């Protein structure tokens, strides 16, 4: 049976994990179609409070 000859170094394991699990994934952003700011995909825009052209939440900016 194929077996690893050597134990992986901590650096090797950590380098691998840095890409996906345990590490920060790359933030999945896009420009909002209404106000144009960068927002997360499939989320309500934090700036104007809309998602897919509909007003979802009220955003008060001048408090």
Decide whether 11 or 62 has the Cβ nearer to Zn ion: 62
**Contacts of residue 41, Cβ cutoff 8 Å, sequence gap at least 6:** 28, 29, 30
Decide whether 2 or 58 has the Cβ nearer to Zn ion: 58
Question: What is the rounded distance in angstroms from the CA atom of residue 17 to the CA atom of residue 23?
Answer: 6
Q: Using the 8-state DSSP alphabet, how is residue 19 labeled?
A: H
Decide whether 9 or 58 has the Cβ nearer to Zn ion: 58
Q: Which chain residues interact with Zn ion by CB under 5 A?
A: 32, 34-35, 45, 47-48
Biggest CA pair distance of the chain: 67
Least distance CB 38 / Zn ion (angstroms) = 10
Least distance CB 42 / Zn ion (angstroms) = 14
């Amino acid at each position: 049976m194929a077996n690893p000859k050597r134990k992986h170094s901590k650096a090797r394991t950590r380098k691998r994990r840095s890409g996906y699990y345990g590490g920060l994934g790359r933030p999945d952003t896009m420009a909002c179609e209404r106000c144009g700011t960068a927002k997360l995909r499939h989320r309500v825009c934090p700036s104007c409070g809309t998602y897919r052209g509909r007003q979802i939440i009220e955003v008060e900016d001048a408090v």
